[in-house]
Structure 1
Amino acid sequence: MSEEKLYVVKNDEGKYWDFEGRDDFWALVISDCPTTPSKEQAELVADEHGGHVVTLIEEPEKVVLSKEQAKIVKDAHDNKIPACHIANKSDDEELLMNAYVNGYTMAKEKKYNVKVPHANYKWYLKTPDGKLDTIFVEGLSKGFGGYPDGIELTNDDIEKFGLQDCEKEEVTDDGDEV
């Protein structure tokens, strides 16, 4: 985020000073130049013509969180003392407080094709309805090739189904292994 700021002078009627015309307050839609990069200039206009200085800042970037971190932030919004909730639930207080204040997005979970050892091309997959299924692929040594998206397993799935010791290949967004 840039440290540069812009300033406007707004009066009690909700009109803005026009820094280009320098002659009066106008509705925002008809003002030629309602902003200035000079805080001093804005303060001078406010002193001489009334109104108050408003600082415009860039919207902060949203934080990228894991599913677990996002749950903590979501639950903090329902808590009477959000900062205490975040401090009690995580060691990464600064990141989560930033997400609480500025918003967040969820990180995409990595997905994997998982091969069961000692079984010729036997792969586990998650069906679209969320169940675990197995398939046998003749003559296919990597991945599922033309199978539709959404059948790969996440780390949570691998743990849930007890497949931590199995060979796994990370799948990218386009379905190719990494």
Structure 2
Amino acid sequence: MSQQVLCSALSYIGVPERDWSQATGDCSNSSGSYHLTFNHYRPAHDDIGLNSHKDDGFLTILRTRTLGLEIARGDQWEFVPVDPSCFVINFGLSMEILSAQSKRPVAAIMHRVARQQRDRCSCGHFSSSGCLPGEDRGVYRYTDEHGLQRVCGSRELIDENDYEIYAGTEAPTTQPASPPTSRAHEENR
């Protein structure tokens, strides 16, 4: 699924297919770097579930059945509705950098997990450029005029982003409204 979404996004932003492998560190060929996370957020902790951040890879596929994921929209936090029949897909910094100067830029989404009122579990699939030691494929920017240009190493982007996540990235300061009820969620579809 991640390969299909990634290739569709590359086509959408106008990266020529011949450049997909280099642009994505082979992620478009299912040979990039991938990892899964299995998260359990507990209400016993008084702090936020996960600090605000943008993922560093190309895209993240999330699955949860419990409300708690929030996105920054303007100067507010908004809860992401939960639909058991759907996945949530977030684009990350690598996609934002790659597409920033294209005709159709794709923005990475600032998100966090709110403090939980009840147990919440989620799993995430992260798709990134190959970044094994000695085999760092890099992060690229694409422009119609110049094609692909290397911006930095994949590991550099990951390390810088990890620092921001654990230091607490600045983001909207307003708290979201109360989580939508199931009925309100149904009415907003």
Greater relative contact order: 1 or 2 (C-alpha under 8 angstroms, separation 6 or more)?
2
Q: TM-score range by the shorter chain?
A: under 0.3
Instruction: Tell me which protein shows more strand as a share of its residues.
Output: 2
TM-score, scaled relative to structure 2? 0.23
Specify the structure having the higher radius of gyration (Cα): 1
TM-score, scaled relative to structure 1? 0.24
